[in-house]
Each structure stands twice: as structure tokens, then as C-alpha cells.
């Protein structure tokens, strides 16, 4: 889906694109979880996901 495509793209970006801000519909819990997981992985690794 679109969220997966965006997460894949963001994973290839430099850390200079921080902080990131997201707009997610209240009803879109699946996308919210994907973004939270992505951000947690970014924080753990300290570098862009590949």
C-alpha cells in the first residue's frame, strides 16, 4: 500500500530529514502502527533503514 511505499522511501533518506511530521487519519490505525514501528527502528539503529 501507500504507507509501505512511503516508509521504504523514507528509509533511504538522510537523517538530515529529521524531525519528521506525519498526518494520519484517526481511523488509519494500520498506517500509524507502521510509522511507529519505522520510527522506533530508526531510533534504535541511529541511521536510515535499508
pTM here is: 0.77
pLDDT at position 47 is: 57
pLDDT at position 45 is: 86
Residue ranges in the chain modelled with pLDDT below 50 = 49-50
Tell me the C-alpha distance between 19 and 45, whole Å.
16
* Averaged confidence pLDDT in the chain: 89
Question: Nine-digit cell at 48?
Answer: 536510515
Report which of 48, 47, 35 is spatially closest to residue 3, judged by C-alpha positions: 35
Question: Nine-digit cell at 26?
Answer: 484517526
Q: Which residues contact 15 (CB under 8 A, 6 or more apart)?
A: 47, 48
CB 11 within 8 A of CB 38: yes
pLDDT at position 50 is: 45
Amino acid at each position: 500500500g501507500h504507507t509501505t511505499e512511503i516508509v521504504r522511501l523514507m528509509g533511504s533518506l538522510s537523517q538530515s530529514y529529521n524531525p519528521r511530521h506525519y498526518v494520519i487519519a484517526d481511523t488509519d490505525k494500520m498506517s500509524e502502527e507502521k510509522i511507529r514501528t519505522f520510527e522506533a527502528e530508526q531510533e534504535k539503529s541511529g541511521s536510515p533503514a535499508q
